[in-house]
Structure 1
Amino acid sequence: MSNLKKLVLFTAVLSVSNLALANSLDPYQGWFLGVGLNTTKIKYSDNNNSASGSYSAGGEVLGGYSFTFADGFVGQIEEKLRISNSKTDYSYYHYDGTQTTIKDGFKEKYNGSIAYLQGYKVTEEFVPYIKLGFNFSKYDIKNEVRSHLGIDGDIGIGFLYGVGAKYNLTENSTMGIEWTATKISGHDTDFDLKTNTFSLNYTYHF
């Protein structure tokens, strides 16, 4: 093998090695998968009534793609499936002024979302971020609530926002903590379902 061919081969191997090393040292480059725990609270409100449940525990799986910008900015496109057991009562008034309350009228079974996370590397290990996206929720709605509100379906679509922070545990893994809020509004009737979720997750970056 000529010296020129050896030089070309050596340069190619060195370039590939440097690229692989750079990707392994930066968890904000490429695909990721993760799991987490969360606690969620759901609130119902309309023009006359409001009701709020208590926080309930659940789990979540997430995945997506990370990329690094210049000057310490990083971004992620994230898909998440959150399993929930959050419930809230539903109350309404009759014409005579009396009130009826339906226990656990709404129960969120699971929530799916796609969101964009914009973060900044305060240090090489610590990255706070903001989060914006869209979500859908699957609800278990009692028949009396359906009848009173005129609801046929059990899936709602809305938007989400939140803040969080990630910390690099190793070259390929991060631990994150996050707060998100979602809002789903009734299409044919004037009501809102809002959730607040606190989560702790672990992600592995490929």
Structure 2
Amino acid sequence: MIQFTTWDILRGLLLATRWTILLSLVSFAGGAIVGAILLFLRIGKRKAGRIAVEYFVELFQGTPLLMQLFLAFFGLGLFGIDVPAWLAAGAALTLWSSAFLTEIWRGCVEAVAKGQWEASASLGMGYIQQMRYVILPQALRIAVPPTVGFSVQVVKGTALTSIIGFVELSKAGTVITNATFQPFTVYGFVALIYFALCWPLSKSSQILERKLNVAHRGH
């Protein structure tokens, strides 16, 4: 029987952690890009765009991420299209992230006082100028803490991709457990690694939120 040392277990998990981090970064960045586009449609003046984005957000927020992963991976297979696990995982997490980021940022835009819109309009600014020079800079400041906080959910969401065969941290934990028969040690390390990834993000979100509140009280 092959003997596995604690370092062997930890090394295998750390190697898989690279893919968890990479998938998180790709999904969050992709979700931010798609979410920014959807945000402008959501708060725009075209009714069709607002309604379409509203249904999109409700669909991805109202259904389990696990189901979305299954559909991304197996759904296209029904039409004879072979989708790699990494592509299905990235696409599903990107769309899921974009739905939540769109709503987070919409709330931040709406949190800007209406007087700012009125004041900028009185200066003869058009809608694009209002957004660029007045509204978005203020909304961005408000959006930073919840956006950083949501990144924690993206990291933890990558764990579900193991169900479609993507080998990230949790999937590697299962594989290593089957090889070593040391579930307590393996999943103890898995939990510690997830904590090491998520805790700094959670703490950063809390610090940024505290600073924002102090700044608001200062005004």
Considering the TM-score relative to the shorter chain, is it more than 0.5?
no
Q: Between Structure 1 and Structure 2, which shows a larger proportion of strand residues? A: 1
Question: Normalized against structure 1, the TM-score is what?
Answer: 0.23
TM-score normalised by structure 2 residue count = 0.22
